[in-house]
Amino acid sequence: MTLKWENITLYTGTGEKLTQSAIVVEDGKIVATGQEAVKMAASKTIDGKGKTILPGLFDMHIHLGMDGVADPFAEMAKETQASSAYRHQANAVKQLQSGVTSVRNLGSKWHVDLAYRNAVNAGLLTGPTVYGSGQPIVMTGGHGYPMASEADGEDEVRKAARQTLKQGADVLKLMATGGVMTPGVDPGSPQLSEKEMRAAVEEALHAGKTTASHAQGTQGIQNAVRAGITTIEHGIFLDDETIELMIEYGTVLVPTLAAPYYIVQNADSGAIPPHAVKKAIFCLDAHQESFRKAVKAGVKIAAGTDAGTPFNLHGDFAKELELMHECGMPIRDIITSATYQAASALNVQDQTGSLEKGKVADFIVLSEDPEDNISAFRSVDAVYKGGTLVHGHSNRESVYTK
């Protein structure tokens, strides 16, 4: 069947906006967009007057094994592999229903995200496309160690990288600095060294994979950039020198503005570990200012939320986009950061990430235009994955059903 949406506003994901436009899909792929699509006939046509279509969104930093509870590491300590797998599916469905058709999962204990990805790819479950890191690689006692593979020195890190790639990781996650949630570590302090991270980066490159580094402090960010990391996660303390270095290396920033924001917003709940509240309050303003400076300087940005951290719920991707806008990023650039730029950071931009002929038909239908109203990202009328309606008012089947 050929499906056509017509009379729509369409953002391609590459910076172009088309009005009174159309999109035609068949066999899971985009057949045409723009004027070519307007002129085409289709076996099923939907009048999209007043609607806006975007490429399916990418959340480039999530934790499917974490729910957004106040103390995720305490919950994880009671988890089993089986219960974690169920949690992955429940959280992934929330992502899909919010318009996120692709996720980069940056840390799951027992590499459960890789098994979940395989189940989705095999058609056992309906969920977003998953690009997984398995367990992150950290120094002994480093940030996130309760869910990670601990390794010290270049040889151990190289071996841990190879073992993680053996498990089927799409991306290697490395901890360059301390972080907010782990007790006893400083977000600004370096952890894995430049040489240690370079060993893992080399192994990823040999396997044709990408890398991501949790990096909050300035020195740790610079270590990661010089090591050849694909994306910097968080980037809380960016100075001019570090920003210039990122531009020189082509390093992508995944800001996750929502992560400290939600901890600070819920600081008085009494449920979040006090060490995390203290560190988040200290980091919040610097984080937003670093993002503003990075955007102004022209650093590549890919949108990501760190969903699963305290009160940072799956399915709330729109909040990250709203915070990016509040910090000065134009709407059209935000859309690119959540679509084409994200796909590029995963090296899959030739297959997905924009609404172009021949690409996978992942797209979402909004009831408003985000350039008219930023809250339009919350008004998701329909979600298509591979040309199939997986969420929407006209979809009478549950997304759990195949």
The reply to whether 66 and 211 lie within a common domain is: yes
399 occurs within a structural domain: no
The reply to whether 107 and 200 lie within a common domain is: yes
The reply to whether 365 and 217 lie within a common domain is: no
From 308, 329, 345, give the residue that closes a domain: 345
The reply to whether 214 and 145 lie within a common domain is: yes
402 occurs within a structural domain: no
The boundaries of the domain holding residue 386 are: 2-55+353-392
120 occurs within a structural domain: yes
How many domains does the structure of the chain reveal? Answer: 2
The reply to whether 12 and 97 lie within a common domain is: no
The reply to whether 333 and 380 lie within a common domain is: no
Please report, in tens digits, the pLDDT of each residue of the chain (402 residues total): 999 999 999 999 999 999 999 999 999 999 999 999 999 999 999 999 999 999 999 999 999 999 999 988 888 899 999 999 999 999 999 999 999 999 999 999 999 999 999 999 999 999 999 999 999 999 999 999 999 999 999 999 999 999 999 999 999 999 999 988 887 778 889 999 999 999 999 999 999 999 999 999 999 999 999 999 999 999 999 999 999 999 999 999 999 999 999 999 999 998 899 999 999 999 999 999 999 999 999 999 999 999 999 999 999 999 999 999 999 999 999 999 999 999 999 999 999 999 999 999 999 999 999 999 999 999 999 999 999 999 996 543 333 332
Write the CATH number for 144.
Answer: 3.20.20.140
229 occurs within a structural domain: yes
pLDDT of residue 266: 95
366 occurs within a structural domain: yes
276 occurs within a structural domain: yes
| Secondary structure, 3-state, the chain | CEEEEEEEEEECCCCCEEEEEEEEEECCEEEEEHHHHHHCCCCEEEECCCCEEEECEEEEEECCCCCCCCCHHHHHHCCCHHHHHHHHHHHHHHHHHCCEEEEEECCCHHHHHHHHHHHHHCCCCCCCEEEECCCCEECCCCCCHHHCEECCHHHHHHHHHHHHHHCCCCEEEEECECCCCCCCCCCCCECCCHHHHHHHHHHHHHCCCEEEEEECCHHHHHHHHHHCCCEEEECCCCCHHHHHHHHHHCCEEECCCHHHHHHHHCHHHCCCCHHHHHHHHHHHHHHHHHHHHHHHHCCEECCCCCECECCCCCCCHHHHHHHHHHCCCCHHHHHHHCCHHHHHHCCCCCCCCCCCCCCECCEEEECCCCCCCHHHHHCEEEEEECCEEEEECCCCCCCCCC
pLDDT of residue 22: 98
2-53 confidence digits (pLDDT tens): 999 999 999 999 999 999 999 999 999 999 999 999 999 999 999 999 999 9
The reply to whether 382 and 234 lie within a common domain is: no
